Amino acid sequence: MKCPVCGTVYRPLKGSGESLSVSTASSSPSCRRCKADLSDLFRLHDQAVWYHKQALHLLTQGSYSEATEYNNRALALYYSNADFHALAGKLSALQGEFREAISSWQQALKFDPQNAIACHCLQAIELMAKSD
């Protein structure tokens, strides 16, 4: 996610309760560089993550089309999150939409070239294509 004012890029911190590497010492989160108020942006981000978590939960229940719906809402709020695209790809693949799956995973790798799910799934599909 980017500060809309000065363009500083913030990445979600992995594996910690704090979602972003922005100073939250003050009551509302603000940009480290330009001090713009980022609380609306954070709310959108939190909402997107919530939709994504719902999608993951629905996926484990086998409700793929509902999971896709929730994940699409997450993507609508926060398009540059590689994990959302990776999940979109997985959901497409589970529903037999391999062309869409591949384009979602490629999108995920565009935003995060190290994205493990997207890398792994694309390699698996390439192997499948070769063995045909």
Question: Site residues (CB under 5 A) for Zn ion?
Answer: 3, 5-6, 8, 31, 33-34, 36
* In the complex, least distance from residue 32 CB atom to Zn ion, rounded to whole angstroms: 7
Contacts of 5 (CB under 8 A, 6+ apart): 31, 34, 36
Between CA 98 and CA 12 the distance in angstroms is: 29
Q: Phi then psi for 52, rounded to 5 degrees?
A: -60, -40
Least distance from Zn ion to the Cβ atom of residue 112, Å: 22
CB of 29 or CB of 89, closer to Zn ion: 29
Burial class (CB in 10 A: 0-12, 13-18, 19+), 88: buried
Q: Which residues contact 64 (CB under 8 A, 6 or more apart)?
A: 58, 91, 94, 95
Minimum CB separation of residue 25 from Zn ion in Å reads 16
Nearer to Zn ion, 5 or 13 (CB): 5
Give the bridge partners for 2, in sequence order.
Answer: 9
- Tell me whether residue 43 or residue 110 sits nearer to Zn ion (CB atom): 43
In angstroms, give the least distance from the CB of 1 to Zn ion: 11
Return the number of the residue (41 or 109) whose C-beta is nearest Zn ion: 41
